[in-house]
Structure 1
Amino acid sequence: MKRLTILGATGSVGTQALDVIRKTREELSLVGISAHSNWESTIQIIEEFNPKYVAMTEKNAFEKIMNYCKENNKKIEVLWDIEGLNIISSLPEIDIVLTSVVGMIGLQPTLNAIKAGKDIALANKETLVVGGQIIINEVKKNNVKILPVDSEHSAIFQCLEGNSKEEVDKIILTASGGPFRGKKIDDLENVTLEQALKHPRWNMGKKISIDSATLMNKGLEVIEAHYLFGIDYKDIQVVIHPQSIIHSMVQYEDGSVISQMGTTDMRLPIQYALNYPKRRKAVGEKLDFYNLEKLTFEKPDLNTFKPLKLAYTAGEKGGIMPTILNAANEAAVDLFLNKKIKFLEIGNILEEAMNKFYSCEALSIESIIEMDKRVKNYVFDSFKL
């Protein structure tokens, strides 16, 4: 049996991971969880799974869980903030950590888990985007595995199994195109928040849904793929595939293309990562090829969806530049979610931040955290927030 911690247990990926555990209890045991402010859902998880450790990153929610555990005589260690995340990620009794929190907060706990010898089921893009080389170096040093949970990276991981990386010609990341596929700049001038959140294929959190609408999500995945698989940026191709049936592909030097296909159900890559190297019975629907009408592919529009182009630029520059890109994006998406800026301004803010900030100092956790703060403060100050 594998024992695990879930960082971000009440979010989209976290709740689907709980469903995987629910259906494979003989294989997976939940030891620790974290959440931000959703104390109601956290209590439900406590009641159902009885974890030994709970970490909350919002003060009121932490106090609610503390009081609940005392009043109900729950023998659970309730922890607070980033220190709590660090503790539950490094517990001696766990085997694997599912990192499904959104944003920079996932970096330090993931690094601590790796140093403690834990395998990582990775659903937190920012960890590799901003700290990729640091993370990969620690993974090699501590002889642990990073098992990708994103459907695209899980697909590539599976397509590479049993083959030599030296024989890879390129990897092909598929993208649904989001809610604005086929639209041009003029079409997007006055789109609403509600329209941007309405993803045609996947059920995701708000931040990731906006990233999908701008294609920034795919840009982050490009940088992530570079570090996960050791592939040059010139050999990472993004293809729009609106049906989202092929989750990604690998083309080999002989021209053969291997793809991984499946339904649009995140439980599939979650289950694969948590049970790796074993495959288990499906917890969701299987593909029915008789009901597939067609599979189509398109080239992404890098002029309209500027964030994807900027992600390639940031990745190729390396160093602290992906941190600048990511910090500016987190701030810009926050502004858009609060209806302070227009949709197209997100890409403009990313470009402005990349032109304004840079540093040649050695990449470290400290320099990443400091640059993240500087960029976010600049973006928020620009809009007087």
Structure 2
Amino acid sequence: MMKLYLLGATGSIGEQTLDIVRTSNGKFSVETIAANKSIDKVKRIIEEFNPKFVSVGLEEAMKDLMKVYPNIEFGYGVEGLIKAATYGETGEDLVVNAVVGSAGLAPTYYAIKKGRNIALANKETLVIGGDLIRPMLKEYNVTLIPIDSEHSAIMQCMNGEDKKTVENIIITASGGSFRDKTRSELKGVTVESALYHPNWTMGAKITIDSATMMNKGLEVIEAHHLFDVSYDKIKTVLHKESIIHSLVEYNDTSMIAHLGNPDMRVPISYAINYPSRVPFKGKPLNLIEVGSLHFEELSFTRFPMLDYAYRAGRKGNIFPCVLNAANEAAVSLFLNGKITFLQIEEIVVECLNRYKDEVKLSLDSILDTDNLVKDYVLSTYS
């Protein structure tokens, strides 16, 4: 039986992971869960899956849960999140990191030191900490399997191929909530309209990132670290149907594409069952019903956040962290009605221009920079 340590259990990816566990015929046991504020969901998960350790965001919520479930061990905050990733002994273990934002880096870091394999949905782990995490995977002999549909697709398209023959990685983008709007039409768009995604069901933060195209920019940086490919060989293309999840072009001009209906349970299942491919009772892709597929250029003029991500990625060092932190803080402000949609872009580019120094990368220096940039944005624009 595979032991799962599920971080972000009450979010979209966490809930869909539990859907896979329910239909696995006892292949997985949920050893620990970590969540933030959705305590009613936490209670339902506890009662169904009986985890040994549970972490939540706040101490008060933890104390309330301890009264209801005296036989379960609890934690809270950052320390609780790390303990949820490292709890118990090593063995047939897999950490599923579905935490949103930079908070996902530390539990990944310590889970790797524990020797646990990682199924990663937290893209920020590699965006802000890729240069730190990559050598650790080799040092501790840990496998990292991406859950993002795009990176899962790339991995599958590269299976069995010589990486030296890869000419380009092509990441597809749905275009998000405002893909058919011009720049001028983005003035004054509401939070509610931004949270409507035409293809995918996702959490609030990632849905806004999809609308600004920062989500795709973060995926470009993540792909650079996952597949050790230069930024010049990572392309993006608008593909509104979300049927082709990514493509890999080889040096003989051939392309291998990964196709499927937009359902995150498919890449989740692939990640937690890796290297096996197991049956999944989802809706199969019917090419006749699809009929045709369309592709368009992703313009940096229309989606400047994508440009900012390439710039930060190429600069490396601490700059992807600055990019991500500024974006996290700005998205939070937008969701809370403090700034407009287009101000997200303005804040991100201001922070990238404001921050000049490189640092010696470590877990502490990355997290310190993350906090520094967020504090600046929140104090300046709140």
Which of 277, 286, 291 is matched with 1:279 structurally? Answer: 277
Deviation at 1:239, TM superposition (A): 0.5
- Cα distance in 2 between the residues matched to 1:171 and 1:252: 9
1:32 paired to 2:28: no
SS of the aligned residue for 1:344 comes to helix
Match of 1:90 in 2: 86
SS of the aligned residue for 2:297 comes to coil
- Cα distance in 2 between the residues matched to 1:37 and 1:318: 33
- Cα distance in 2 between the residues matched to 1:304 and 1:239: 13
- Cα distance in 2 between the residues matched to 1:360 and 1:342: 31
TM-score (norm 1): 0.97
Match of 1:248 in 2: 246
Q: Which residue type is aligned with residue 159 of structure 1?
A: C
Contact 2:173 2:236 in 1 (8 A): yes
- Cα distance in 2 between the residues matched to 1:195 and 1:154: 29
Deviations 1:165-207 (A, max 9, x none): 1010010000001111132211111111111110000000000
- Cα distance in 1 between the residues matched to 2:113 and 2:366: 18
Contact 1:23 1:283 in 2 (8 A): no
Match of 2:175 in 1: 177
- Cα distance in 2 between the residues matched to 1:304 and 1:289: 31
Which of 139, 147, 154 is matched with 1:156 structurally? Answer: 154
Counting only pairs closer than 5 Å after superposition, residues 202-351 of structure 1 correspond to structure 2 as 202-351=200-349
Match of 2:102 in 1: 104
- Cα distance in 1 between the residues matched to 2:319 and 2:94: 30
SS of the aligned residue for 1:314 comes to helix
Of stretches 215-224 and 294-303 in structure 1, the one that deviates more from structure 2 is 294-303
- Cα distance in 2 between the residues matched to 1:301 and 1:196: 19
Q: Which residue type is aligned with residue 130 of structure 1?
A: I
Deviations 1:303-323 (A, max 9, x none): 121111100000000000000
Q: Which residue type is aligned with residue 80 of structure 2?
A: G
Deviations 1:361-385 (A, max 9, x none): 21111111111111111111112x3
- Residues 25 and 60 of structure 1: CA distance in aligned 2, closer, same or farther (over 3 Å): farther
Contact 1:114 1:138 in 2 (8 A): yes
Deviation at 1:354, TM superposition (A): 0.2
Match of 1:81 in 2: 77
Q: Provide the aligned C-alpha RMSD in A.
A: 1.0
Match of 1:12 in 2: 12
1:198 paired to 2:196: yes
Aligned residues with identical type, % of pairs: 49
- Cα distance in 1 between the residues matched to 2:276 and 2:317: 36
Q: Which residue type is aligned with residue 284 of structure 1?
A: G
When the two structures are aligned, how many residues end up with a matched partner?
A: 380
SS of the aligned residue for 2:278 comes to coil
Q: Which residue type is aligned with residue 82 of structure 1?
A: V
Q: Which residue type is aligned with residue 151 of structure 2?
A: H
SS of the aligned residue for 1:170 comes to strand
Counting only pairs closer than 5 Å after superposition, residues 105-144 of structure 1 correspond to structure 2 as 105-144=103-142
SS of the aligned residue for 2:257 comes to strand
Match of 2:22 in 1: 22
Contact 1:20 1:283 in 2 (8 A): no
Match of 2:45 in 1: 45
1:365 paired to 2:359: no
SS of the aligned residue for 1:179 comes to coil
